[in-house]
Amino acid sequence: MAKDVLYVIIAYIRTLPSGDSTVTPGQLAIPMPALSPLPEFALEKSIRPEPLDKMKYGQYIATIASCGNCCTPMNKDGSPDFSKVFSGGIVFSTPILKVAVANITADSTSGVGPWTEEAFVGKFRTNSLDEVVNRDHG
């Protein structure tokens, strides 16, 4: 994530009202030897690509938005199947709703290959409308 984007996120978070939490402070229960060494991160080296370079800028946005977290299927062991990155298939179930994550690859049959940029963006705008999010799914 580019430094300027990180600063904008921090500025936004600081404008949110603080709230009392009923959650008790927890402790990290992961034994440290179980974690891999963390990659070295240098904020100064993280540069946002020029928005006119759609390929690089799209990769940047998909990375910081964590699109692959939901849109990449999992192996049986729970690890992401990177041979099928962005091909969807994960199913989220709630007591009132089941949602299968879409294939957002360029596949012309099951993916978004034939979609225009406007149709792709429009899908996110439609799905985030209050009447869609808060409707009675029962």
Dump pLDDT digits (tens) for 89-131: 888 888 887 888 888 898 988 888 888 888 888 887 777 666 6
* Predicted pLDDT of residue 83: 92
For 48-97, the pLDDT digits (tens) are 889 899 888 888 888 888 888 888 998 999 888 989 999 988 888 888 87
> Is 98 found in the same domain as 82?
yes
Residue carrying the six token digits 């209050």:
130
Does residue 9 register a pLDDT over 80?
no
> Is 127 found in the same domain as 111?
yes
> Is 74 found in the same domain as 128?
yes
- pLDDT band at residue 38 using 50, 70 and 90 as cut-offs: low
Report if residue 9 sits inside a domain.
yes
DSSP assignment of 92-131 equals EE-SS-EEEPP--SS-TTTSSTT--HHHHHHHHHHHTSHH
Full residue range of the structural domain in which residue 53 is found: 1-14+45-65
Q: Are strands 98-100 and 91-93 parallel, antiparallel or unpaired?
A: antiparallel
- State the distance between the two ends of the chain, measured CA to CA, in whole angstroms: 39
Average pLDDT over residues 35-53: 72
Contacts of 68 (CB under 8 A, 6+ apart): 62, 80, 85, 86
> Is 58 found in the same domain as 4?
yes
> Is 74 found in the same domain as 55?
no
* Predicted pLDDT of residue 52: 92
Report if residue 33 sits inside a domain.
no
Does residue 18 register a pLDDT over 80?
no
pLDDT exceeding 90 applies to what percent of the chain? 7
* Predicted pLDDT of residue 87: 92
> Is 74 found in the same domain as 123?
yes
**Domain total of the chain:** 2
User: What's this model's pTM, rounded to 2 decimal places?
Assistant: 0.59
> Is 77 found in the same domain as 106?
yes
